[in-house]
Structure 1
C-alpha cells in the first residue's frame, strides 16, 4: 500500500506570531550596532595612532582637502571632513529617525508609559550634563560647548552590553537603545537651533515646501525610493543654504517615512496563490495575464515590509560599518600635546558625561516613575538602570560631531580629550556595575 501523503512542511508549523515581526528588526538592529561598535573602536584607535605618529601631518591634512564644484561664479565646496560630517552624517540621523519612528509606531515606545521612561530619562540625560558643563565653564571661552555633553553613542553602548552576554535583560537594552535614539534626535535639534546662524528664511521656506512635496508624493502613492532620495537631496541643499545645519534634514525625512506596510499578509498570500511560474502555453514575452500576476506578486512581496523596515535593512549596515567608522577616522585624531590643552574644558566635558549623565538619567527616571508618568519593567531594577545610566556617559561620535561645531581650533583638542576620557571611564564604570548582575548564580550546573 502506498504511503499516506505527508503534509507540506509549512503546514505542520504554527503560523508566525505578530510579535516576531516586531522583535526581529529590533534584534537585527542590536546585532549590527554591537558589531559596528567593534569596527568603530578599531578606526578610533587607528585615528589616534596615526595622529600621534610620523604620519600625523599628512593624515590630518587629508581631511582638509577641498572637494566641490563650480558653476561660473557659484561655488559649492567643502573639505573632505565637512562632507563626511554634514553629508554622510545626514544618513546616520536619517537611520536614527527611522528607528525612532518604528519604535513609536510598532515597538515598545508605542505604549505611552513605557515610552515615557526612555523619553524622560533622555531629557534628564541631556539637561543635567549641559547645566553642569555651563556651571563649570561659565564666563570662560569654552562656555559655547554645552551641547557636546548631551548625546549618547548608540553603537558603543550596545557594544558594551554585548560584552555582558544574554543574561542582561532585554528591557535594559531596549531602554538604552530608546534613550540613545531620543538623545541623538535631541542633539541634532540642539545643533539646528543652538549652532546655526545667519538664517535665510527664503531658503527655509523652500525647504519646507520640499518636505510638503515629498509628503504629497507619499499621499498619491509614489513608492519608488529613487525619487524620494532625489527630493531629499534637494531639501538638504535648501536647508544647508538656509543656515540651519543640514543634518536636520535626515531627522525630518526619517520621521516622515511611513512605518505601516502597504500589503497585508492576507493580500500577499491571495496574490501568490494566483501565480503560475512557467505557464506552458505562454512562452513568449508578451504582456500576459500570468506575467502580470508575477509582477504583482513581486511588488506585493516587497511591500509587505514597511518603507521604514526596508530602508533600515538597506542603510543600517552601510551606516554601521562605513559611515560611522569613517566619521571616527576623520574626527578622532588627537595629537597628544598637553602643553596646548585647556584643562578646564577637558574637565567640564569629562564631568558632564561621567557625572551629569547618570545623575540626570536616574533622577528624571525616578521622578517619572514616582509621578506615575512612566512605568519601569519588573526585570529592570534600579541597579541595572544605574549601570545603564553610567554607560550612557559614552558620548563619543555624537559628542565629536557637536564639538566640531561648538569649539574653535584652539579648543577642539581639549574637548576631544575630555570626550575620550569620559567615554572610557563611563564604559569601565558601567560594565563594572553590570558585570556582577550578568554573572550566572554560583553553584548552578551548566
Structure 2
C-alpha cells in the first residue's frame, strides 16, 4: 500500500525553506533556468505568442487592454515596487536608515554602487545607440543578493547582512528615481495632475490616521491607471502608495507592516518568479557570447562585476576614513569587498531597466539580458567564493591562535 503523500514530504523542512530569507532567491534562480529552457525549445514560439496576446477592457473612455507581458511588467511589477516602497519607508522610520549615523554608510555605499557602474557603462557606450541604457548596471537585486548571502550562514557576520539589506534598499530607491526621471515616455500633464490629486488624498488619509489598508490600496490602483497614461512608468504608483501607508516605531503592528507581511510571500514566490519566467526567455544564438565583447555587453558586465564592488568599497572606505560613518560590528574591509561583489547581482531591476531602455528593440533587449545574466552569475560566484575562503582563513587563524 502506498504511503500517504504527507509521509513522503517533510512538511517541516518545506515550511522552514518557504519561510527562510534565501528561498526567494533560490526559486528565482530556478525560474530563470526554466525560462531559458522554454526559450531554447520548440515551446519558445508558443510562449512568445502567449506573452504577446492581449486581454483586458476597453470602453467608456477607459483603456485597460494590454499584452500579457505588459500586464506583468506594468501591473504585477507595481506590486513589487509597492513592497519595495514599504521596505524603504519602514527602514527610514524605524530601521537602518532612521538616523543619520545609521543611514550614512549604506546611503553613501549605495551612491558609489550606483555612480561607478553608470560611469563604466557610459565609458563604453557614449555616443552609441545604446547610450540610453546607462541605468542598467545600477541596481542590486535584493532577493538574489540576500538569498545568496543567507546561504553563507554564520560564515559572514550579521552586521554585514544588515548592511547589504539597507544598501540594496537605498540602491532600489535610486533606481526608482532614475526610472521616474529618465525612463519616461511623452508626458501627459493632465493624467499626471489627476494622479497628483489622488496622491494628495492618500496623504490626507495618512494625516487623519486612517488605518484601513483599503483606503490606500483602492486609490493606489486609480493612481496606477493615471500614472500609466501619464507617460511615467506605472510602477512608480506602487512606491508612492507605499510612502503614504501609516507606520509607527513601536511594538504594535502598523498598517504598513501588515501590508508588507501580506505582500512578502506573494511577491517573492509568485510575482518575481513570473517576471523572471516572462523576461529571461533568452534564445541563445550564434555569436551571442562574442557579443559580450561589444560596447553594450562590456558596459553591463564590467559595470555590474567591477563597478558595483569598486563603487561600494570606495565610498564606504572614504566615509569611514572621514569619520562620517562606521563599519557594522564584526565587519572588516574584506567583508565589504565580498558584499560589494554580491551587489553586482543586478537581475530583476537591471532587466526591468533594459526593457525600458530599449523599448521595442528586441535584439538589444536580448543582448542586455544575456549580459546581465553573465554579470550576475560572475558576481554571485566570485562574491560567495571570496567570503567563504575568507571565513575559512579566519577560522584557521582562530584555531591556530587557541593552540
Normalising to structure 2: TM-score of the pair? 0.89
Superposed CA offset, 1:87-146 (max 9, x none): 111111111121121122212322312211001111111111011101101122111111
Residue number in structure 1 paired with 2:326: 375
Deviation at 1:378, TM superposition (A): 3.6
Contact persistence 1:185–1:251 (CA under 8 A): no
Deviation at 1:347, TM superposition (A): 1.9
Which of 37, 59, 79 in structure 1 is aligned with 2:47?
59
Superposed, 1:20-419 pairs within 5 Å as 32-71=20-59, 75-260=63-248, 304-339=252-287, 342-343=291-292, 344=294, 345-407=296-358, 408-419=361-372
5+ residue gaps, structure 1, are 1-27, 266-303
**Distance of 2:325 and 2:386 partners within structure 1:** 24
CA RMSD across the alignment: 2.0
Superposed CA offset, 1:265-322 (max 9, x none): 7xxxxxxxxxxxxxxxxxxxxxxxxxxxxxxxxxxxxxx3111211111010110100
Which contiguous aligned blocks of 4+ residues in structure 1 show a shift greater than 4 angstroms?
A: 442-445
Worse-superposed segment, 372-381 or 234-243: 372-381
**Distance of 1:258 and 1:240 partners within structure 2:** 25
Deviation at 1:182, TM superposition (A): 1.1
Cα 1:73/1:242, change in 2 over 3 Å:
closer
Cα 1:225/1:72, change in 2 over 3 Å:
closer
Deviation at 1:73, TM superposition (A): 6.5
**Distance of 1:416 and 1:42 partners within structure 2:** 17
Which of 413, 424, 435 in structure 1 is aligned with 2:388?
435
Contact persistence 2:160–2:328 (CA under 8 A): no
Superposed CA offset, 1:58-105 (max 9, x none): 122221111221115753321111111111111111111211211222
Helix, strand or coil at the partner of 2:367: helix
**Distance of 2:58 and 2:79 partners within structure 1:** 25
Cα 1:200/1:155, change in 2 over 3 Å:
same
Residue number in structure 2 paired with 1:270: none
**Distance of 1:402 and 1:305 partners within structure 2:** 34
Helix, strand or coil at the partner of 1:336: coil
Contact persistence 2:76–2:271 (CA under 8 A): yes
Helix, strand or coil at the partner of 1:75: strand
Normalising to structure 1: TM-score of the pair? 0.81
Deviation at 1:189, TM superposition (A): 1.3
Q: Work out the number of aligned pairs and report it.
A: 377
Cα 1:158/1:65, change in 2 over 3 Å:
same
Helix, strand or coil at the partner of 2:263: helix
Residue number in structure 1 paired with 2:373: 420
Contact persistence 1:196–1:243 (CA under 8 A): yes
